[in-house]
Structure 1
Amino acid sequence: MTAQDRSTALRRTAEMAALFMIGDGLLGLAQPRRHVDLWRSRSAAVDALVRPFAGKPGRRRLYGAVQLAAGLALAARLRPPR
């Protein structure tokens, strides 16, 4: 794999992370209760991620706004290889 291929792969991975953050942030803003309830789990590791937002839609909305802003900022920094 060439340096340019690695660079492209890294940019694509960052783009996927940005897409996830933007989408998850929007869902958290628009439907915080439904989104948190969907991700509640008997798996302790998964549930630990959403437990702080259970019953706190305002907190989930705030986190969604932060995710959305961070995802957009990340995506804005990505440039195609030259």
Structure 2
Amino acid sequence: MATDPRRALTGSPWPARSAEMAAIFMVGDGLIGLAQPDRHVDLWKDAALGAERAVRPFVGHPARRRVYALAQIAAGLWLASHQRPKPIRD
């Protein structure tokens, strides 16, 4: 039985999986930013396809990056905790 493509995400696990992947990225990036703020910012401050603007407020401010890292970790954990598996329906 073919599934109606207009209903592809209805009951699909993919939105929750995508949110879970975003949460994992947020937690991981936050942990690296917390442990090694200067090295992490230095990696992204030049020739980084647009990321330079995002990291500019943290250049030379490791404490500011650590505070942001804590917020990233908290937000990532919150996001992950709100994802629930959904049964796949035809």
Deviation at 1:4, TM superposition (A): 1.6
Q: Aligned AA for 1:67? A: Q
Match of 1:4 among 6, 11, 27: 11
**1:40 and 2:37 aligned:** no
TM-score with structure 2 length normalisation?
Answer: 0.82
Gaps of 5+ in 2: 1-7
Gaps of 5+ in 1: none
TM-score with structure 1 length normalisation?
Answer: 0.89
Partner of 2:75: 70
**1:19 and 2:24 aligned:** yes
Structure 1 runs, 4 residues or longer, greater than 6 Å off: none
Count the aligned residue pairs. 80
The structure whose Rg is larger is 2
Distance 1:80 1:54, change over 3 A: same
Deviation at 1:42, TM superposition (A): 2.8
| Percent of residue pairs identical | 52
Distance 1:74 1:57, change over 3 A: same
Whole-angstrom distance in 2 between the partners of 1:11 and 1:2: 10
